[in-house]
Amino acid sequence: MAHQRTPSHGHGHGHGHEVGGVWRRLGAMFRPHSHDAADSIDDAIESSAAGIRAVKVSLVALAITATLQLVIVAISGSVALLADTVHNFSDALTALPLWIAFVIGRRAATRRYTYGYGRAEDLAGLFVVAMIAISALIAGWESIRRLINPVTVHNLGWVAAAGVIGFIGNEAVAMYRIRVGRRIGSAALVADGLHARTDGMTSLAVVLGAGGVALGFPLADPLIGLLITIAILAVLRTAGRDVFRRLMDAVDPADVDSAETALTALPGVQAVRRVRMRWIGHELHADVDLVIDAGDSAQAHRLAHEAEHELTHAVPRLRTAVVHAYPSDDPALGPAAARSG
């Protein structure tokens, strides 16, 4: 039989498959499932709008938090609080490139950028990682300098209050960023949320430093500053790993398993020859090769469309799927080419 390859361009959709499936299932009851191209575009715009809204809210919240802390730094001289405040300001500033990236990512694809501009979001994630690294260096440097040349910390009650303010502001922003980032599939926004969460925990460490100074241990303040540095480095490792994985087209192997399971269950599919996926910004795209029954070659297009439909159900945040169906007697396949269902 002649070689036959039938591509089917999917119309994925951006459902928020996150923890909290009860709300997702309830929402599905009131929002019918669709594979219309217009719905896919609407989902993409809605996801970008949610990302922009998240960075706007977090920018304002963190700017207010850091400003309040900076005032207390000026009257107290606490290096631990200074380290925390610097990190909070850097965290607020990371919202700006993310904002720009979400705006750029909404632009339509062109003949030069045929996949669109979603990669701008991944590049913004690099900026987030760089800002985390810079804040770690500043916090570490200031702490070591104060260990060598101790400075008296004043107004310990205010310092402790600033630490509480920092924790509340950062944790609220972290929860919001991470929730939205996971819902829309944005690694950069999740990384920024983890950044804010680390700030919140280190703000509580500032309270401990103030308590140590109050108990007659003045070196507690710069030592807590060093602990803050270590905490920042820990989140740097996690955020850097996730962002670089996106840039290297890494996906969750569980998504590949889900895709293969859904495809091999389709009547007429003998094997899944290959499944490839990649993230572009907060959108997941798939490219699939199937081996189908030789006698069903006339139905290849129909089967490819059904496969696309199943993929968009089985894989969270899948935006598009391109499915190729090959008859099992195609000599180009070879006995070892297919992965049996």
CA separation, residue 189 to residues 10, 118, 209, 270 (Å): 26, 13, 30, 40
CATH 1.20.1510.10 holds for 37-247? yes
- Enter the pTM of the model: 0.66
How confident is the model at residue 330, as a pLDDT?
A: 62
Q: Please give the average per-residue pLDDT across 217-241, as a whole number.
A: 83
Q: What is the mean pLDDT of residues 220-246?
A: 84
Give Cβ neighbours of residue 49 (< 8 Å, ≥ 6 apart). Answer: none
Q: What does the pLDDT look like over 173-199, one tens digit per residue?
A: 888 888 888 888 888 888 888 878 877
Q: Which CATH number fits domain 251-340: 3.40.50.150, 3.40.190.10, 3.40.50.300, 3.30.70.1350?
A: 3.30.70.1350
* pLDDT at 1 exceeding the cut of 70: no
pLDDT of 320 above 70: yes
| CA–CA–CA angle 76, 69, 58 (5° rounding) | 170
What pLDDT score does 331 carry?
54
- Of 124, 238, 269, nearest to 186 (Cα)? 124
Mean pLDDT of the chain: 75
Structure confidence at residue 104 (pLDDT): 87
pLDDT band at 49 (very low <50, low <70, confident <90, very high): confident
Select the more confidently predicted residue: 22 or 77: 77
Whole-number percent of the chain with pLDDT over 70: 76
Name the β-bridge partners of 242: none
Give the pLDDT confidence score for residue 42 in this predicted structure.
42
What is the pLDDT at residue 213? 74
Domain boundaries, the chain: 37-247, 251-340
pLDDT (0 to 100) of residue 214: 75
pLDDT given for residue 8 in this prediction: 42
Nearest to 289 by CA among 334, 319, 252, 253: 334
Specify which residues 320 forms β-bridges with. Answer: 285
In the predicted model, what is the mean pLDDT of residues 324-340?
Answer: 60
pLDDT in tens, 252-269: 899 999 899 999 888 888
| Sign of the torsion angle spanned by Cα atoms 82, 88, 90, 93 | negative
Q: Is pLDDT larger for residue 200 or for residue 77?
A: 200
Q: Is the pLDDT of residue 160 over 70?
A: yes
Q: Which residue has the higher pLDDT, 75 or 284?
A: 284
- pLDDT at position 4: 40
Phi, psi of 275 (to 5 degrees): -130, 125
Q: With a cut of 60, say whether residue 216 has pLDDT above it.
A: yes
Gap between the Cα atoms of 116 and 218, Å rounded: 55
Contact between residue 182 and residue 190 where contact means Cβ atoms under 8 Å apart? yes
> Of the ranges 273-277, 291-295, 322-326, which one carries the lowest mean pLDDT score?
291-295
21-43: pLDDT as tens digits: 443 443 333 333 333 433 444 44
Tokens encoding 215: 């108990």
CA–CA gap between residue 202 and residue 62 (Å, rounded): 15
3-state secondary structure the chain: CCCCCEEEECCCCCCCCCCCHHHHHHHHHHCCCCCCHHHHHHHHHHHHHHHHHHHHHHHHHHHHHHHHHHHHHHHHCCHHHHHHHHHHHHHHHCHHHHHHHHHHHCCCCCCCCCCCCCHHHHHHHHHHHHHHHHHHHHHHHHHHHHHHCCCCCCCHHHHHHHHHHHHHHHHHHHHHHHHHHHHHCCHHHHHHHHHHHHHHHHHHHHHHHHHHHHCCCCCHHHHHHHHHHHHHHHHHHHHHHHHHHHHCCCCCHHHHHHHHHHHHCCCCEEEEEEEEEEEECCEEEEEEEEEECHHHHHHHHHHHHHHHHHHHHHCCCEEEEEEEEEECCCCCCCCCCCEEC
Q: What pLDDT shows up at residue 25?
A: 40
Residue type, 50: A
- Whole-angstrom Cα distance, residue 105 to residue 122? 10
Report pLDDT digits (tens) over 104-153: 888 888 999 988 888 888 888 888 888 888 878 877 887 888 788 876 66
